[in-house]
């Protein structure tokens, strides 16, 4: 008999009613009397369990009644509708086989566990309801992102993870080496002899694929990256991890507004895809994790995102009468409290803040006509704050060279980035979306450690 997925049973119930099927999965709950019993089986294909009813007619009835939680079993039986019951159907077992027993000390018994405890058993937590939902949604959101960009003809680019370029400057980096760190080879001046390292130079883990993505945008017009990035920052917050995945789209012949349009469309697309393809999981989040989730997501999917300049935003915040911990004045980097006040209290929906002061933004962002601001924009969303950052890129060779000089960077480190501006430069724009931030936003989960299968944070690299 063909082994079918529980998802099929739920999605095409009519097809299976009255028929015999075979399913396999793990026991979530089991209760039995002397004469019959009920098993909730989950096979990981679907958020919900299926109920299996078994009775004394099975020759191994007594053993079945004692199967431990999390044992894996295969069940053959008839699919029967159960009108009025909690579950729409159940399986009347004709045969139940133990595939793999579970020890009685299984750490995930039915009682509730804290998220902190579950992090310590990251090899078992995906079997719990919460993480089953989180990681199925993560998978669907990743696919929705690929689907969105591929349908628009964007080319997916794998930018390098190991980078010999010190040019990104977006944060602290991890060093990658094959040198024997116990006996590091030194040169005559006592410095590390990087010539003996694997790549014959110092290399690090990338903090962003943007500069390389620009190379590809200037060949393929519209491209996107989707890969891991790294920050060796010693910050222990609920929103920071040392290893996380980023999506970095980059578009040639595109101005700042083109990035905003594309990002807005993308966010709405992903929300709709996940709501449509994981309704059970999303209902779970709305009910047990974040009661305002549906309201917030529907609001985002249906509303036109706000757009406001940084200068306007500063005025709005100053006039709001709200007392902030960090006072607001033109030129400051907006703090999370400012960002959340803007998006939650003032706009009540996502808002793009544009045209930030040049001194608080990266060197590659395009200088505006006013000489004071750059064509950059962050997307702020209720409940999270910054979800996306991006800009139009400085395409003018002379302006870019001056900027590099002005802030004391080494022009030679950027030789290929500058050459892009020599051979058929165009206006171009791009942005970065932290994938885990998006998953937190979609699920209402409050800690980045709970949306990454095996999170890496200072002092933590288990599994």
Touching a second copy, residues 431-460 (CB under 8 A): 452-454, 456, 458-460
CA dihedral 411, 414, 419, 422 (to 10 degrees): -50
Q: How far from 389 is each of 265, 286, 300, 327, 386, CA to CA, in Å? A: 15, 27, 18, 23, 7
Least distance in angstroms from the C-beta of 142 to a second copy: 5
If the CB atoms of residues 140 and 342 are measured against a second copy, the closer one turns out to be 140
The answer to whether 136 contacts a second copy (rule: CB under 8 A) is yes
Among 38, 53, 119, 164, binds a second copy (CB under 8 A): 164
If the CB atoms of residues 126 and 357 are measured against a second copy, the closer one turns out to be 126
If the CB atoms of residues 188 and 325 are measured against a second copy, the closer one turns out to be 188
If the CB atoms of residues 316 and 397 are measured against a second copy, the closer one turns out to be 397
Query: The tokens of 301 are what?
Result: 């999917």
State how beta strands 50-55 and 373-381 pair: unpaired
Query: The tokens of 110 are what?
Result: 């039915």
The answer to whether 156 contacts a second copy (rule: CB under 8 A) is yes
Can you tell me the distance from the alpha carbon of 20 to that of 376, in angstroms, rounded to the nearest whole number? Answer: 60
If the CB atoms of residues 4 and 351 are measured against a second copy, the closer one turns out to be 4
Spell out, one character per residue from 42 to 71, where the chain touches a second copy: x when CB under 8 A holds, - when not. -xxx------------------------xx
The residue count for binding a second copy (CB under 8 A) is: 106
If the CB atoms of residues 69 and 316 are measured against a second copy, the closer one turns out to be 69
The answer to whether 282 contacts a second copy (rule: CB under 8 A) is no
Contact of 41 with 64, CB cutoff 8 Å: no
Using alpha carbons, select from 437, 387, 453 the residue that is nearest to residue 238: 437
Can you tell me the distance from the alpha carbon of 400 to that of 412, in angstroms, rounded to the nearest whole number? Answer: 13
If the CB atoms of residues 49 and 343 are measured against a second copy, the closer one turns out to be 49
Using alpha carbons, select from 109, 107, 136 the residue that is nearest to residue 43: 136
Least distance in angstroms from the C-beta of 350 to a second copy: 25
Taking CB under 8 A as the binding criterion, the range among 97-105, 290-298, 347-355, 383-391 that sits at the site for a second copy is 97-105
Q: How far from 40 is each of 48, 72, 103, 172, 259, CA to CA, in Å? A: 9, 12, 18, 48, 48
Least distance in angstroms from the C-beta of 424 to a second copy: 4
Footprint (CB under 8 A) of a second copy, residues 367-426: 395, 416, 419-426
Q: Helix, strand or coil for residue 460?
A: strand
Q: Which strand ranges, in their side-by-side order, compose the sheet holding 222-230?
A: 155-156, 222-230, 243-252, 428-434, 385-392, 373-381, 351-357, 306-309
Can you tell me the distance from the alpha carbon of 285 to that of 279, in angstroms, rounded to the nearest whole number? Answer: 10
Among 227, 357, 383, 389, binds a second copy (CB under 8 A): 227
Contact of 79 with 15, CB cutoff 8 Å: no
Contact of 310 with 357, CB cutoff 8 Å: yes
Spell out, one character per residue from 175 to 194, where the chain touches a second copy: x when CB under 8 A holds, - when not. xxxxx-xx-x-x----xx--
Least distance in angstroms from the C-beta of 111 to a second copy: 16
Footprint (CB under 8 A) of a second copy, residues 228-267: 228, 230, 232, 234, 242-243, 245, 252-253
Least distance in angstroms from the C-beta of 273 to a second copy: 11
Can you tell me the distance from the alpha carbon of 161 to that of 64, in angstroms, rounded to the nearest whole number? Answer: 50
Least distance in angstroms from the C-beta of 452 to a second copy: 7
Among 88, 126, 383, 446, binds a second copy (CB under 8 A): 126
Among 13, 62, 82, 99, binds a second copy (CB under 8 A): 99
Spell out, one character per residue from 313 to 352, where the chain touches a second copy: x when CB under 8 A holds, - when not. ----------------------------------------
Spell out, one character per residue from 287 to 306, where the chain touches a second copy: x when CB under 8 A holds, - when not. --------------------
Can you tell me the distance from the alpha carbon of 210 to that of 23, in angstroms, rounded to the nearest whole number? Answer: 46
Q: What is the DSSP letter of 19?
A: S
Contact of 244 with 228, CB cutoff 8 Å: yes
């Amino acid at each position: 008999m063909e082994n079918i997925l529980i998802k099929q049973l739920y999605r095409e119930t009519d097809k299976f009613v009255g028929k015999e099927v075979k399913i396999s999965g793990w026991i979530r709950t089991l209760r039995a009397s002397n004469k019959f019993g009920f098993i909730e089986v989950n096979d990981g294909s679907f958020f919900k369990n299926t109920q299996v009813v078994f009775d004394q007619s099975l020759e191994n009835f007594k053993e079945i009644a004692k199967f431990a939680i999390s044992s894996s079993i295969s069940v053959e039986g008839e699919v029967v509708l159960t009108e009025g019951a909690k579950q729409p159907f159940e399986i009347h077992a004709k045969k139940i086989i133990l595939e793999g027993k579970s020890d009685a000390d299984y750490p995930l018994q039915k009682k509730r566990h804290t998220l902190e405890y579950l992090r310590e058993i990251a090899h078992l937590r995906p079997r719990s309801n919460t993480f089953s939902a989180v990681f199925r949604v993560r998978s669907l959101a990743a696919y929705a992102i690929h689907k969105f960009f591929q349908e628009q003809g964007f080319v997916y680019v794998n930018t390098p993870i190991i980078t010999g370029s010190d040019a990104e400057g977006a944060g602290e980096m991890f060093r990658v080496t094959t040198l024997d760190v116990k006996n590091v080879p030194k040169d005559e001046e006592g410095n590390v002899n990087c010539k003996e390292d694997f790549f014959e130079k110092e290399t690090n883990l990338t903090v962003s694929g943007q500069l390389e993505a620009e190379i590809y945008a200037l060949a393929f017009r519209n491209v996107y990256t989707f890969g891991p990035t790294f920050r060796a920052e010693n910050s222990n917050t609920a929103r920071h991890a040392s290893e996380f995945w980023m999506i970095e789209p980059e578009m040639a012949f595109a101005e700042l507004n083109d990035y905003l349009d594309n990002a807005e469309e993308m966010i709405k697309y992903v929300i709709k895809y996940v709501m449509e393809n994981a309704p059970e999981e999303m209902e779970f989040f709305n009910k047990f994790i974040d009661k305002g989730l549906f309201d917030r997501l529907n609001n985002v999917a249906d509303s036109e995102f706000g757009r406001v300049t940084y200068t306007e935003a500063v005025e709005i915040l100053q006039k709001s009468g709200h007392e902030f911990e960090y006072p607001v004045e033109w030129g400051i980097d907006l703090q999370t409290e400012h960002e959340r006040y803007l998006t939650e209290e003032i706009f009540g929906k996502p808002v793009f803040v544009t045209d930030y002061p040049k001194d608080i933004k990266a060197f590659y962002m395009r200088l505006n006509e006013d000489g004071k601001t750059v064509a950059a924009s962050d997307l702020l969303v209720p409940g999270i704050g910054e979800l996306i950052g991006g800009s139009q890129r400085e395409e003018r060779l002379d302006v870019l060279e001056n900027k590099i000089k002005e802030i004391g960077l080494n022009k030679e480190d950027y030789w290929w980035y500058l050459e892009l501006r020599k051979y058929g430069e165009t206006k171009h724009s791009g942005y970065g979306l932290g994938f885990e931030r998006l998953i937190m936003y979609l699920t209402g989960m409050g800690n980045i450690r709970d949306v990454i299968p095996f999170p890496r944070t200072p002092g933590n690299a288990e599994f």
